[in-house]
Structure 1
Amino acid sequence: MSDTVLADAPAESATPATTLRQPRLPRWAPLGLAAASVALGAGIGAAAGLESRVQWGLLAALLYVALTLAAAGLVEGRRQAKDRLATSLIWVSFILAVVPLASLLWETVARGSKVLDGFFLTHSMNGVITLEPGGGVYHALIGTLEQVGLAALIAAPIGLLTAVYLVEYGTGKLAKAVTFFVDVMTGIPSIVAGLFVLSFWIIILDFGYSGFAGAMALSILMMPIVVRSTEEMLKLVPNELREASLALGVPKWKTILKVVLPTAVGGITTGIMLAVARIAGESAPILLLVFGSAQINANPFEGAQSSLPYYIYEQWANGNEASYDRAWAAALVLIAFVMILNLVARGIARWKAPKH
């Protein structure tokens, strides 16, 4: 009996094991389906007489999702098809978000680089005929730097102290009221901030148009962003650090000053820089309060002063080819300015990040 069992054992072990692996689409399938979708979308769009390439792209995106779902359902099964559907929707959404941004950047660089050079950055529009080439953006660049800098000097300390109050001291109805009004200010239109400063600073107090008036309106827009970003950074500071400092007999105000703020300084600085980048392109308050100038005015507290957003609007409103080129070049300068601020914010965040 034992001999028979031993003899049969090799035959049983030789039978192939049942595999649990399901069939999968090849790795090149997503790219192949994408290429097929683009070809089909272009073909259907051309056959249907659709002239817009955007419509062709939308057709290709819908076809890609449908083809991916159908192919995965036939080969991989229903469960894996759902996963493929979610993945394809994510990729399509990502492309739909990136393509307009890339197109905007490409268009700005292509058109703005025509007149953007050292002369354009170091000269103003004083004495330049708008119908002719020439002139520059120097006076507007100076105005933007001064107005945004003054707005940051106003909004950053107030926003920082408000966030410290909400996180470290805020309890009760007052804290809830402050939080509510900060949320309301986050969504306030820029034109409303400009109208408020116009009515109070210029009409009631009888001060003239100036860069400082525009800076006050920009600070109103900047303040809630600083409060919210700083508040979130302070909440990330571990409570153990506060408790350890308080247990050593350190007063609460000194604990905040010496422990909490230095720990969160990287995130706080990043939030302030991003808030500055947010207000750098605002045009409505500048149109109402600063009023623009073709000359260089380095004094933000007296007289009209230009800025990059106002310069772009002014040149585009002139309605001629030379002004259009200057407007695109100024737009490229503004984008570069905002990009530099974002890069500085990222650098500060990485520099001040906790070291492990």
Structure 2
Amino acid sequence: MSTLTEARTSTLRGASLPKWAPWAIAGGSAALAVGIGIVGGLDSKVQWGLIAAILYVLATFVIATSVEGKRQAKDRLATSFVWVAFLLAVIPLASLVYETVKRGVKVLDGYFLTHSMGLVADSEPGGGIYHAIIGSLEQVGLATLIAAPIGVLTAIYLVEYGRGALARAVTFFVDVMTGIPSIVAGLFILSIMLIFEMQPFGFAGSCALAILMMPVVVRSTEEMLKLVPNELREASLALGVPKWRTILKVVLPTSLGGITTGIMLAVARIAGETAPVLLLVWGTSFINNNPFEGPQQALPLYIYQQYANSAGSGAAYDRAWAASLTLIAFVMILNLAARGVARWKAPKTGR
């Protein structure tokens, strides 16, 4: 009886490719792509990779069709597209990180992180990024203090109170601001500075960064507030709690993890902006701890200036890569912190 059942099951399942088949197809596609590249005189490894990806997708569909049938072949085709897209996204990222680490570690040490350029010329070895780190922290921190409260309060209005033409107008302008280029935000603040005859200073860059940060905070906070179940709001209101207190004591604590994550990701987004800082802050080789007076340095601007003065080699070139590695590490730490906060503040479900 069991033998008959197994026979029927195997008949219903039909033939299927072994588990190692995708790896074998991938290896064969890569080998064939290398052969085509050599015969065709293609020097770029990127071209070899694209040819291998195309061959892998086609070979997977053809082999699966002949063995498993057309329906299963379509499923494998979709899966192969997903894997190819994943690799196309990961390989450039991994290459970027590898190249930055390889070039950045040459001068990245304690001295580099605790000293400014001071009187060191761009063509000379030595110097550091301490003044740029101070400037970036102050400018991004002030931008966060401006954008985070405004963004969160705007999102609360849109989700909890927003009705009618005003809410639609606010939503429209938030969508428009999401796509504003950073140079436009910098020009807007620059026009105000010219009206009042103000000189470049760090807080001006913070205002431009806050403009870029606000729509991101609004959108992320809005989505987090929408995830709060309406039953919680209704239960609080049924107990006679005012709406403002329900938002403060029920809605915001429930969505706090997601809101914090959105703010941190928005900070990571503006940390690498160069155009507003170049227009409004100008940069300096010396330490300036006062963001409200005089030019200040920032990591993205420091990277640009060092690379522009390096002519593709020399001490400035190495400092540019080391500063790039520092900026990537800063953004990575923010993203990890955002994930940690999201997991820490995630609603606990009982078993």
Partners of 1:80 and 1:308 lie apart in 2 by 51
Partners of 2:54 and 2:80 lie apart in 1 by 10
2:277 pairs with 1:286 = yes
**Aligned counterparts, 1:177-188, within 5 A:** 177-188=169-180
Question: Which string of whole-angstrom CA distances, capped at 9 and with x for unpartnered residues, describes residues 226-267 of structure 1?
Answer: 001111111111111111111111111111111111111111
What runs of 5+ residues in structure 2 fail to find an aligned partner? none
Partners of 1:87 and 1:158 lie apart in 2 by 43
The answer to which of 343-352 and 17-26 deviates more is 17-26
Q: Report the AA paired with residue 274 of structure 2.
A: S
Structure 2 match to 1:276: 267
Please point out which of 38, 46, 53 is paired with 2:38: 46
Structure 1 match to 2:56: 64
Structure 2 match to 1:166: 158
The answer to which of 128-137 and 213-222 deviates more is 128-137
Q: Report the AA paired with residue 339 of structure 2.
A: R
2:233 pairs with 1:235 = no
Structure 2 match to 1:338: 331
The SS at the match of 2:12 is: coil
Please point out which of 293, 299, 303 is paired with 1:302: 293
Partners of 1:21 and 1:309 lie apart in 2 by 58
Q: Report the AA paired with residue 208 of structure 1.
A: Q
Please point out which of 190, 196, 199 is paired with 1:208: 199
2:232 pairs with 1:244 = no
The SS at the match of 2:13 is: coil
The percentage of counterpart residues that share the same residue type is: 72
RMSD: 1.5
Q: Report the AA paired with residue 27 of structure 1.
A: K
Structure 2 match to 1:5: none
Partners of 1:32 and 1:14 lie apart in 2 by 33
Partners of 2:333 and 2:285 lie apart in 1 by 26
Structure 1 match to 2:95: 103
Partners of 2:17 and 2:172 lie apart in 1 by 52
2:327 pairs with 1:324 = no
Q: Report the AA paired with residue 282 of structure 1.
A: E
Question: Which string of whole-angstrom CA distances, capped at 9 and with x for unpartnered residues, describes residues 250-296 of structure 1?
Answer: 11111111111111111111100000000000000000000000000
Please point out which of 331, 344, 350 is paired with 1:351: 344
Write out the 4+ residue segments of structure 1 that deviate beyond 6 Å after TM superposition: 13-16
Partners of 1:259 and 1:14 lie apart in 2 by 60
What runs of 5+ residues in structure 1 fail to find an aligned partner? 1-9
Please point out which of 157, 173, 190 is paired with 1:198: 190
Structure 2 match to 1:114: 106
The SS at the match of 1:20 is: helix
Q: In the superposition, relative to structure 1, how do residues 26 and 163 fare at CA in structure 2: closer, same or farther (>3 Å)?
A: same
Structure 2 match to 1:138: 130
Q: In the superposition, relative to structure 1, how do residues 276 and 17 fare at CA in structure 2: closer, same or farther (>3 Å)?
A: closer
2:143 pairs with 1:155 = no
Which structure has the bigger radius of gyration? 1
Partners of 1:16 and 1:307 lie apart in 2 by 69
Question: Which string of whole-angstrom CA distances, capped at 9 and with x for unpartnered residues, describes residues 18-55 of structure 1?
Answer: 52231111111111110111100001001000010000
Partners of 2:119 and 2:219 lie apart in 1 by 45
2:246 pairs with 1:255 = yes
Structure 2 match to 1:27: 19
Instruction: Provide TM-score, normalisation by structure 1.
Output: 0.94
Partners of 2:85 and 2:232 lie apart in 1 by 42
Partners of 1:146 and 1:99 lie apart in 2 by 34
CA displacement at 1:195 relative to structure 2: 0.0
The answer to which of 319-328 and 13-22 deviates more is 13-22
Partners of 2:6 and 2:325 lie apart in 1 by 67
Q: Report the AA paired with residue 13 of structure 2.
A: R
CA displacement at 1:15 relative to structure 2: 12
Q: Report the AA paired with residue 209 of structure 1.
A: P
CA displacement at 1:17 relative to structure 2: 5.3
Q: In the superposition, relative to structure 1, how do residues 48 and 14 fare at CA in structure 2: closer, same or farther (>3 Å)?
A: closer
The SS at the match of 1:340 is: helix
Q: In the superposition, relative to structure 1, how do residues 317 and 22 fare at CA in structure 2: closer, same or farther (>3 Å)?
A: same
Structure 1 match to 2:78: 86
Partners of 1:153 and 1:16 lie apart in 2 by 67
Q: Report the AA paired with residue 29 of structure 1.
A: A
